[in-house]
Chains A and B, each alone.
Chain A
Amino acid sequence: MSGYSFTFHRASLVALPSGLLWWSDQRLLCVSDLHLGKSDRIARLGGTLLPPYENQDTFDRLASAIQILAPQTVVCLGDSFDDLAACSALPVDIHTLLTSLIAGRRWIWIEGNHDPGPIELGGTHLAEFKLQGLTFRHIAEPSATGEISGHYHPKTTVSIRGHSVTRSCFLVDSARIVLPAFGTFTGGLKTTDPALQNLMQQKAVAVLTGQKSLPVPMPSGRQKTNS
């Protein structure tokens, strides 16, 4: 596994190159910001007609990870659906596939800002979830420690020989982990953004996703917030 292994509040975790977080002692797989139904929502609101294939693509990648790792618990860190209507409008085939994935394991849906409230699939719905001193929630709380969250879709840029490469990334410091977005149609927020600069500690590490997980120091913001 070409992931980045690290210890966080005494838990041995692996940041996988696909953007998933794996806690092997607990056989727990954590995924954030699936944003299923995104093209559906944009079309419904009169926007452009994006290719309606992102549900299939997101599902395929998640399903193949689950097949390899066989987790006992899957935690979805919120914004699993682009909105509630997108959830109920999920195509029948995706709905069926998702149901079969949920069957036979503990599946936890954390509420996100895009999909609060109950949804019609199996699994448990929680505002947040705690396990062995770690807290899983959608949006980070600045004062929390031992926290694993999503929401921000962090991405970072590394320049090599004048070319710059931008990848979505995990952010890790001693208090928290922020996961990258897993959904196919999701953009990113640069790690130099004040929201992330203010949230993370100075010595935070950004773990790039891609073929291999690559840790780099989280870039310090070019501009600190202009007060």
Chain B
Amino acid sequence: MSKLPPIFQSWFESRGWQIHPHQRDLLDRAGDPATLLIAPTGGGKTLAGFLPTLIELSAGNHTGLHTLYVSPLKALAADIRRNLQTPVDEMGLPIRLDDRTGDTSQTRRKRQRADPPHILLTTPESLAILLSYEDAPRIFRGLKRVVVDEIHALAESKRGDQLMLCLSRLQALEPGLQRIGLSATVEDPPALASFLAHHPDPCNILLADPGPDPNISILQTQNPPPWSGAGAVYSVPEVMEEIHKANTTLVFINTRAQAEIFFQAVWRANTEDLPIGLHHGSLSREARDRVESAMVAGTLRAVVCTGSLDLGIDWGNVDLVVQIGAPKNVKRLVQRIGRSNHRYNAPSRAIIVPANRFEVVECQAALDAVKAHELDGEPRGPGPLDVLCQHILIRACSGPFDASALYSEVTTAGPYAGLQRAEFDACLDFCATGGYALQAYDRWQRLMQNPTKEWQLRDPRSTRAIRMNIGTIVDTETLAVRMKNRRGGTPLGEVEESFAATLVAGDTFLIGGQVVRYEGLREMTVEVTKQAGRKPRIAVFSGTKFATSTVLSHRVVALLYSGDWDALPAHTIDWLTVQRRISQLPEPGRMLVESFWRGDMAYTCFYGFAGRNALQTLGLLLTRRMEEAGLHPIGFVSTDYALLIWGLEPVPDAATLLTPAGLRDGLSTWLGENAVMKRSFRNVATIAGLIEKNLPGKRKSGRQATFSSDILYDTLRKYDPNHLMLEITRREAMSGLVDFGRIEEMLTRVEGRIDQITAPHITPLSAPLLLEVGKVAISGSAVTVLLEKEAEDLMREAGLN
């Protein structure tokens, strides 16, 4: 066991600290090629990651960059730098620290490139940009270690795939590089270790003491939750009471729009004027900064927030976490709970609040899963090829490369360890020539081979465009919202452009916890005025709607079917009992389908328990099949657990509609024309570099020159259906927005065991779906009909024609 150097020993002692066992373990393993540390929040994880570096650098004989720290958040990089500066200053260590993110000034960036600090704190995107420079080998010379913070979060997205490709590049430059990953509790540590490892080298796993089990309960309320909806406003009195009793409370809620509504309701009930803040990703940077610094200063009693506060920054005094709405995912719930009580070895306290009747069951299932230590997570599959295409272009920016050498290099990255040479070559061909079946002319060359058969950029000027496009976060286009006044006005946040397009002067919506009135659009900014006391239209913020995980869905079905409902409140038991009498309860391994009439409309409800994205896709596929079968479907609505379709004719035999072959066929034909597929394509094509990202300021200058990615998608489908971009789009359709993988999982689980019930009337379980409004999907031909009607109305109103 390695001993702490005296200066560190006395520093720990001066603070009254003991070194944690996992901090010492990591120190012992500092020489290993890769180590993954899994520790609960508050376990001194970050210090553990930096301790080996601080000790090595304390000798003062290292020149150049020694350790690179990568975090998913810009704010985290800056925050950690400040926290790290304290021990460095207090021990008087000869160590230079600096951070580099999208917010870092040009001058500082130039200085960092010319004279790198010992420790550089950065984000995956900023690292990718650094690697695209020709002098990357010089910048990273002498690099000994990479610390990847919050690696569990990065591993869930393409940002993590990109980062691992960057590490493969760094390792080629500095073969002795050591990797440390810092993670919150995850369901499958070996998978995460394999993600981080430099293949085929191993990656060790260190599990810190997880601490005591959390103290977690479901909120008891005076009023039962409503039948549908996700706002949970009914629970405000009891939530206020809890806020009152605690020191500092984090109130998590699933979407930005819901956070706005809940915050307003809390504010109305806040008779004692407790300081309560609002934090979500659509708020302006200024507004978020205000809440964050008030939180650090300890002046807030509660913050209503979305996933924007899921990561990182240490808030210190939080002693209660309230989760509004079913958590959808057990792992996220556990990580959120971990945000309370940062004292090591003290249990976290959390309360879950179901937003509607069905979520009561889901919350109970989630609570059981937490107690059973069963976490969930959908395996992500091999690294996506659009990210690889971007990596190849980045590599080309830094200088000529040999294809075989680059192939072996990228296969050392966990997500790409199983990459076939043919797949790599297809990506290289795409980067070089566009990869079209129609072999175009010699001008279709972004990369070309030089006389020594190395690949290089045909036109060195294209480095600029490639660097501008670096990154895997593809934003929906948003517009800033400001209070209207002569000099710009206070920034409030952002709304999606498509939402702004539906506004007319006088419309009201919620942003930053207040109701505002839309006045007009001025130079890409939505101008609003204050509007007190009117019922707002809700902004359609892009905050992700997570689908309930497979683990949690299975638990919900099991709980429903078991009849073991002691833990559930009486109103919920009544509801389920009536369901069992009128129809039946869904059974594990089977699918319940209910048919009933309501008015002159035939309803069919499919209890698929496959998550909202998959059931939305299933709705698109089934209505098409029903149309072909002459059943005249009219509309459908889907939730995380069921799909409800209505039409003029009842569905005689659900099983024939649900044949796997038919659904798969539908995926490749009908769904190909769907907007969801087009959106996936846009993301893929942007990351791979086929479409350039829309950059602020540059956006409208292109005018007629820019055209929508839908046109590219349609053109490729028509003329080049096997093109790499379409292939990647189809792979993406298996997860994410289309989530066809979950439909496959459902069909395998059910294997044709379908219980079709004809109910006398609407059933208790299907009733909440009927209350979901405004989600009616309109099919292709219906758009024309509605458009025609709208056009007539408009012409008549305008007195034209």
Docked Cα-Cα span, A187 to B706, in Å, equals 5
Q: Is A157's beta carbon under 8 Å from chain B?
A: yes
- In Å, the complex CA distance between A185 and B690 comes to 14
Partner of B522 from A40, A216, A226 at Cβ < 8 Å: A226
* Contact between chains at A212 and B784 (CB < 8 Å): yes
The answer, yes or no, to whether A103 is at the interface (CB within 8 Å) is no
Is there contact, CB below 8 Å, between A51 and B446? no
A48 to B798, CA, bound (A): 44
CB distance from A79 to the nearest CB of B (A): 9
Report yes or no: A56 in contact with B783, Cβ–Cβ below 8 A. Answer: no
**Chain B nearest CB: distance from A49 CB in Å?**
3
State how many angstroms separate the Cβ of A186 from the closest Cβ of chain B.
6
Taking the closest CB of chain B, its distance from the CB of A113, in whole angstroms, is 10
Selecting from B195-203, B281-289, B368-376, B713-721, the interface stretch reads B713-721
Contact indicator B712/A187 (Cβ below 8 Å): no
- Residues of chain A within 8 A (CB-CB) of B774 are 162
Query: What residue of chain B has the Cβ atom nearest to residue A85's Cβ?
Result: B443
Binding-face segment, A64-72, A122-130, A132-140, A203-211: A203-211
* A159-191 interface (Cβ within 8 A of B): 159-165, 181, 184-189
B691 an interface residue at 8 Å Cβ cutoff? yes
* B498 in contact with A44 (CB, 8 Å): no
Which residues from chain A contact B705 at a C-beta distance below 8 Å?
Answer: 187
Q: Which of B514-530 contact A (CB under 8 A)?
A: 520-523
When distances are taken between beta carbons in the complex, the residues of chain A under 8 Å from B13 are none
Q: State whether A52 and B787 are in contact (beta carbons under 8 Å apart), knowing that A159-B502, A186-B704, A187-B706 are contacts in the complex.
A: no
- Cβ B440 vs Cβ A52 within 8 A: yes
* CA–CA, A186 and B712, complex, Å: 11
Q: Assuming the A-B contacts A161-B786, A214-B788, A215-B795, are A53 and B715 also in contact, with contact meaning beta carbons closer than 8 angstroms in the complex? A: yes
Interface status of B434 (Cβ within 8 A of chain A): yes
Interface centre among A49, A185, A210, by most chain B C-beta atoms within 10 angstroms, is: A49
By a CB distance below 8 angstroms, the chain A residues around B783 are 160, 165
A162: chain B residues at CB < 8 Å are 502, 774
A81 at the interface (CB under 8 A from B): no
Contact A187 B704 (CB under 8 A): yes
Tell me the residues in window 32-89 of chain A with beta carbons closer than 8 Å to chain B beta carbons.
Answer: 33, 40, 43-44, 46-54, 56-57, 89
Q: Give the residues in chain A near B522, CB-CB below 8 Å.
A: 223, 226
Interface residues on chain A, size class = 35 or more
Given contacts A50-B712, A205-B800, A226-B522, contact A40 B443 (CB under 8 A): yes
Q: When the two chains form the complex, which single residue of B459, B501, B505, B689 contacts A48, counting CB atoms closer than 8 Å?
A: B689
**A10 within 8 Å of B (CB atoms):** no
A199 lies within 8 A of chain B by Cβ: no
Q: Does A118 have its Cβ within 8 Å of any Cβ on chain B? A: no
**Any B CB within 8 A of the CB of A142:** no
Chain A residues with Cβ under 8 A from B433's Cβ? Answer: 49
Residue of A nearest to B716 (CB): A51
Quick check: is B465 within 8 A (CB to CB) of the other chain? yes
Q: Which residue of A lies closest to B469 (CB)?
A: A48
Q: Name the contact of A184 in the complex, choosing from B441, B711, B798 (C-beta under 8 A).
A: B711
Taking the complex as formed, is B599 at the interface, i.e. its CB lies under 8 A from any CB of chain A?
Answer: no
Q: Which residue of B lies closest to A151 (CB)?
A: B704
Q: Is the CB of A50 within 8 A of B719?
A: no
B679 close to chain A: CB less than 8 A? no
Q: How close is B460's CB to chain A, nearest CB, in angstroms?
A: 9
> Quick check: is B444 within 8 A (CB to CB) of the other chain?
yes
Minimum C-beta distance from A211 to chain B (A): 5
Task: Provide the residues of chain B in CB contact with A186, threshold 8 Å.
Answer: 704, 707
Residues of B bordering A, CB below 8 Å: 433-434, 436, 438, 440-441, 443-446, 458-459, 461-462, 465, 498, 501-502, 504-505, 520-523, 689-692, 702-708, 711-712, 715-716, 718-720, 723, 774, 776, 778, 783-784, 786-788, 790-791, 794-795, 798, 800-801
8 nearest CB pairs, A to B: A49-B434, A187-B707, A53-B719, A46-B459, A217-B798, A52-B440, A153-B704, A214-B791
Interchain residue pairs with CB less than 8 A apart (20): A43-B440, A44-B443, A46-B458, A46-B461, A48-B689, A48-B690, A48-B691, A51-B720, A52-B444, A53-B438, A57-B715, A89-B443, A159-B501, A165-B787, A187-B705, A210-B784, A216-B790, A217-B800, A222-B505, A223-B522
